[in-house]
Amino acid sequence: MNLPQIRLESTFAKIAIVTTPPVQEIEQPPADLDLQQPPAEMKIETTPAKLTIDQTKAWEDMDLKHIFRRIEEFAQQGYEDWLEGMARLSRQGDELMRIEDGGNPLAEQAKENSEDPMYELNVGWVPSHFSVKTNYEPAKVHIDVKVNKPINNTKINKPMIHYTPGKVTIDLPQRNSLKIDFVNLKFVGINFEISI
């Protein structure tokens, strides 16, 4: 039995895609470095320390005096003794001038002029405390610093960029198709029959 058949044969389309990737090249030249640092300028002024020790009083306490000091003391002591003697003679003269007021001024004056003076004796330290004088002036340091800024003549180099864009190529190597075939198909018309 021959059944009529319709045969369909289809072919799909084929798409070909060819891709060329993009290429990017970046080259970074190093910077031209020109950097200078001038040294700082520093000035230091120092005033040295000064220590003075005066032990004149200590030597005088031990009776080890300079000859000029002895002469000065003897002159001063002689002047004071002379003034004291003048005052005593004036006082005694006044007492004798008023002998009529009573008393015995001659005997009192003879006793006063013949007796040695009474000296006081006390414990002392030789040399005496704080007889050595010290004076200290500390050192002075003056520092003057001048800072010099760095000299920067660095040249920056820009990067070199090379870019090749990518490509996409689309092709249709095979088109789609549809084949239709008829088997055992007959057209029956009026008074005739045709095979298709």
Q: Is-contact 36 150, C-beta < 8 A? A: yes
Q: Is-contact 183 5, C-beta < 8 A? A: yes
Q: What are the tens digits of pLDDT across the range 149-178?
A: 999 999 999 999 999 999 999 998 888 998
Burial of 58 (0-12, 13-18, 19+ CB in 10 A): middle
Alpha helices in 37-66 (DSSP H): 56-61
Q: What are the tens digits of pLDDT across the range 61-77?
A: 888 888 888 899 899 99
Residue with tokens 């008829």: 182
Statement: residue 193 has pLDDT above 90? no
Instruction: Band the pLDDT of 184: cuts 50, 70, 90.
Output: confident
Closest of 181, 149, 154 to residue 10, by C-alpha: 181
Q: Is-contact 92 110, C-beta < 8 A? A: no
Closest of 20, 11, 13 to residue 171, by C-alpha: 13
pLDDT at 39: 92
Give 161's strand partners: 26
pTM value is 0.38
- Between helix 67-97 and helix 105-114 the angle, nearest 10°, is 170
DSSP-assigned states of every residue in 16-29: EEEEE--EEEEE-P
- Give the residue-averaged pLDDT of 101-111: 83
